[in-house]
Amino acid sequence: MSNSVWIYRIYDITEEINLKSVEQVLAPDKPTSRLRLNRVQSKSIHIDNPPVTVELGNTNIQINEKQYSAVVTARVFDLGVISIVLKVHLFPETSYADLRDLSVRLNSTDSLEPIFQSFLETLKKSLKITVAPSREQYVEDFIIYFFRTWDSEWDPAPILLGEKETLSEQVRRDTLKNSFSYGTGDLAIITWDSALVYDSEGSTDIPDLLEFATTQLLELRYYDGLLSHELDRMHDAIESAEKVGWWTRLRYYRKIMKNIMEVVIDITEITEKIQKQLTVTEDVFYARVYGSALTIFRTREWTDIIHKKVSLIQRNYSMLSDEVINHRSMLLELAIVGLFVFEIVLGLFQLI
């Protein structure tokens, strides 16, 4: 891969995708493959179910009144995520000023969205996937500036931030603090929504790791939103139950408790699956890069928020369970009292 700009749109579209079926459907018409990092041994990085990569062809795009050619690829994850990437080739004569102008434009334009949507719709149609309205808002964008050759005199900070304004030393220092280099021919700088990757050999391992991290962020965002919705629905259901008679209320409570347990089980399973999607076991350098990406994207904070919401739901379950148990105890006590009264009345009738 020559010097290029990788523009990502990562979409959450469904609960789960069968990757074997994806290969069977797409392979006859499009080149497909399973992701494999090429610089490390398979035992050093474990990918639970490697996503399917499919080549969607070439397209031309116009940015800053210039025509660029781009290779379009998609990656389908079993978590229900589709990532579409426009790999825009940079001209050999591209100067630093050209690159900076391009980054500024990409940071502020929505002109590429129809292209992404067109490829996404084609892929969804091929895979026969319908997106639920609740998922349509969950999209992540990311840009990677990928170089086989890099001029050490160039300042990467304005490119990463898409800024034409002169940056302060503090901003520049904060932007470049997450820099990683294994040898003299590689460099990776990661920010919240962009990264610069220089690799003289053209390895795409770092972009692949960043794509996995962004996918995790997207999924955690979705399930956080789902939990918020479930909490609101649970509170509404409890309020509705309070307005009916106690016998009907118990039936409502049992229904709410059943829904709560289903949500907790589903969320627990999916968050564990998200976290196990990719595990770096032995490669120290990739572990640092991947771990830093997760920190920058605040995936741990999202995970903590999800755990807190799950704990809140579980406390509500305990509260409803106690309420049901109390009502059952009261019914049992009333039944016992009734039996005593019945025995007394029966004894009086016998005396008479």
Measured CA to CA, the distance from residue 316 to residue 176 in angstroms comes to 45
Give the β-pairing of 81-89 and 4-12: antiparallel
Is pLDDT at 136 greater than 70 in this prediction?
yes
pLDDT band at 229, cuts 50/70/90?
A: confident
Rounded to the nearest angstrom, the gap between the alpha carbon of residue 171 and the centroid of all alpha carbons in its chain is: 28
Which tokens sit at 228? 């918020």
Can you read off the two tokens belonging to residue 98? 């050209």
Q: What is the pTM of this model?
A: 0.86
Tens of pLDDT, residue by residue over 154-165, are: 999 999 999 988
Burial pattern 200-226, b for ≥16 Cβ within 10 A else e, equals eeebbbbbbbbbbbbbbbbbbbbbbeb
The string of pLDDT tens digits covering residues 65-121 is 889 999 999 999 999 999 999 999 999 989 999 999 999 999 888 889 999 999 999
pLDDT 10s digits, 256-294: 777 777 777 888 888 888 878 888 877 889 999 999 999
User: pLDDT tens for residues 178-228?
Assistant: 999 999 899 999 999 999 999 999 999 999 999 999 999 999 999 888 888
State the Cα–Cα distance between residues 252 and 256, nearest whole angstrom. Answer: 6
Mean pLDDT throughout 14-32?
91
**Residue 311 above 90 pLDDT?**
no
Distance CA 165, CA 178 (A): 22
